[in-house]
Amino acid sequence: MRDPVEWRKPNACGDGNNCPEVAITSDAVYVRSSLLPDAVAQLTPTEWRDLVSAIRAGEFDA
């Protein structure tokens, strides 16, 4: 991961400390939890789009 990246979290998190965070660069998307900031997953832009589409479609709903 190149440094520094700009980490963003959903507005719904407010000042909460248990939130997903995302950093988007031209060639990768990085995802982490604000509780575990050193555990970073790296996705390709295509993988990110597929993940977001699946979440919006409810594929992970219990």
For residue 8, pLDDT over 80 is answered with: yes
pLDDT at 3: 66
Measured between alpha carbons, how far is 58 from 3 in angstroms, rounded to an integer? 33
What's the mean per-residue pLDDT of the chain?
91
Of 3 and 19, which is predicted with more confidence?
19
pLDDT tens digits, one per residue of 11-31: 988 777 789 999 999 999 999
Identify the pLDDT of residue 54: 97
What pLDDT shows up at residue 2? 63
